[in-house]
Amino acid sequence: MRLVTAAQARAADRYAIEEVGLPAAVLMEEAGRQVAELCLKLLQEKPGRGRIFVWAGKGNNGGDGYVAARRLGLAGYHVEVFLVTAHPEEITGAARQNLEVLRRLAIPVNQAWSEAEIAAAGVVAASGDLQVDALLGTGGRGPVSGPPAAAIAAINGAGVPVVAVDLPSGLNADTGEVTGPAVRARYTVTVGRPKAGLFTYPGAALAGDVYVADIGIPAAAYCGQEPGVFLTEGADVAGWLPAWGPAAHKGERGRVFVAGGSPGLTGAACLASEAALRAGAGLVTLGVPESLHDLMEVKLTEVMTAPLPEAEDRTLAAAAAGTILERAAQAGALAVGPGLGRGEELPELITQLVRESPVPLVVDADGLNALAGRTEVLSEAAAPVILTPHPGELARLTGSTPAEVQAHRLPLAREVAESWNATVVLKGARTVIAAPDGTCYLNPTGNPGLATGGTGDVLTGVIAALLAQGLQPLKAAAAGAFLHGLAGDLAAEQARGARGLTAGDVLQALPAALAAVLRSEVPGPVMYTR
């Protein structure tokens, strides 16, 4: 599903109005109608008896709120509008027309601009059943301050569920960043196309359940807007997965070579290699330090193993590069990092693998740590590279902090992907997948149960398997994140909760996730108003 920025949404509006000839009033009417329809559904247990308070600004977002207020008032509900502007006379166009209609219908419209007015409005709103946030939408610029900020505080302080129109006020529509006060919505009705900021954190935490209101803007209005941000859907993944014919054999299903493991961290390497098999690879070989080889042969049944040269601390030696590259040349993908440890020779090893790997390379965990301070080597890669950092790892690679990474997930992932010429999978809630050309996917699957050791190693194996099956790096990464998160969701469903999930549970659920995708059994990430 294509997501849009605020600028792209405004351009689509202009196209619909100026090129197609759709009146702005028609678009506003349809947006407000669909906001009202959702409110009616939410208040269906209180037909004609609910109290709804609409906080509206002076722009078109406020105009959508005026339409919703009119329709809810005509449906018999008590509706009151708090007009958050110092100069109501500056409201123009279709918004002005709809505001005048409210007044002629005697639906209360009260200015809320002074500190006392906003405080009084907040007290009144606390007695209601529903609030509508039509303050700013995508029209906000930078941190909200002054009376609009006070209004946001009043909305949040009322303790009454909020329906946001297009976007919770204070949220960056493009990136999901929150740089000041922002409305905490229970529901968001996003108008036209969904906004990217609704689906990546921290914005996703403020949006609640997202509904899409199709107001009649033609698809042509969004053409030519590249590179884009997309929300991965099950149908996307199903279309990317290769078909298996009745005569398929293991060689056709892809070969993966995994290099990893060190004393105390053998489980990570096992999880990654087993995940590659569970994700459909036909043959998987795990290369480990030679002193651990016998142990891995005991631990693993379906995965083949290979001893590799090791350093004195029993981590992989730089001399292992030759064997790894030779084995990788016989495979379709190379994964390196799970359980590698922090050996002194690993930076040299990883640098050589990045430079010389003949097949697409997935770098995770300690492989990423080995790249700290030498990310310039990524621009010298012989084959596509996929990096799968969690926020702490990306912070080490960029010289920032995990908090800074989390505050700017989408723009930072896109920036480093372009800078390093690598596909970046920034793990976490709503994983961000960014390609070097700026195209991004946001992943809607997964749950807090995945926040446990080993699940990242499983993801590495899944992505490597998809690469070996012929998927391009961006699609392999996006599909891998989707299937990995879906496996976590299915495992949590089977366990009747996400608490206590292990990486092994996710591993076992991967075939079920693949089956659900191929059978079109995965619900969509958004809902639609009608």
Instruction: Name the residue with tokens 């807090």.
Output: 448
Instruction: Return the bridge partners of 188, or none.
Output: 164, 210
Percent of the chain whose pLDDT exceeds 90: 92
DSSP string spanning 492-515?
A: HHHHTSSTT--HHHHHHHHHHHHH
**CB contact at 8 A, 109 and 99:** yes
**Inter-helix orientation angle 346-356/320-328, to 10°:** 30
Q: What is the pLDDT of residue 163?
A: 99
Pairing of strands 385-387, 333-336: unpaired
CA of residue 419 relative to chain centroid, distance: 21
Distance CA 434, CA 401 (A): 20
**CB contact at 8 A, 452 and 495:** no
Lookup: tokens for 238: 């199903």
Provide CB contacts within 8 A for 429, sequence distance 6+: 201, 204, 446, 448
Q: What is the pLDDT of residue 281?
A: 97
H helix runs in 191-340, sequence order: 203-207, 234-240, 266-278, 293-299, 320-328
- Counting DSSP H helices and E strands in the chain, the numbers are 19, 19
Q: What is the pLDDT of residue 250?
A: 83
Domains annotated for the chain, with CATH where assigned, are 2-225 (3.40.50.10260), 234-528 (3.40.1190.20)
Q: Across the beta sheet with 361-363, what order do the strands follow?
A: 2-3, 229-231, 440-442, 432-434, 423-426, 385-387, 361-363, 333-336, 255-259, 283-289, 304-308
pLDDT at 455 > cutoff 80 = yes
Distance CA 198, CA 209 (A): 10
pLDDT confidence of 46, banded at 50, 70, 90?
A: confident
Distance CA 212, CA 193 (A): 7
pLDDT tens track for 236-280? 999 999 988 887 888 878 999 999 999 999 999 999 999 999 999
Q: What is the pLDDT of residue 526?
A: 77
In b/e form, how buried is each residue of 205-225, taking b as 16+ CB within 10 angstroms? ebbbebbbbebebeeebbeeb
pLDDT tens track for 475-501? 999 999 999 999 999 999 999 999 999
pLDDT tens track for 311-329? 999 999 999 999 999 999 9
Lookup: tokens for 270: 């096992």
Of 150-164, 211-225, 228-242, 294-308, the range with the lowest mean pLDDT is 211-225
pTM score, whole prediction: 0.93
DSSP, collapsed to helix, strand or coil, labels residue 290 as helix
Average pLDDT taken over every residue of the chain: 95
CA dihedral 181→186→187→193, nearest 10 degrees, is 40
Lookup: tokens for 78: 């008590």
Neighbours of 141 (CB within 10 A): 8
Q: Across the beta sheet with 130-134, what order do the strands follow?
A: 109-111, 78-83, 51-56, 130-134, 162-165, 187-191, 209-213, 527-528
Residue 131, burial from CB neighbour count under 10 angstroms (0-12, 13-18, 19+): buried
pLDDT tens track for 374-409? 999 999 999 999 999 999 999 999 999 999 999 999
First to last CA, the chain: 18
Rg (CA), the chain: 26
Q: What is the pLDDT of residue 225?
A: 65
Distance CA 29, CA 10 (A): 17
Which among 270, 269, 228, 153 is positioned nearest to 438, based on CA atoms? 228
pLDDT confidence of 530, banded at 50, 70, 90?
A: low
Distance CA 144, CA 77 (A): 31
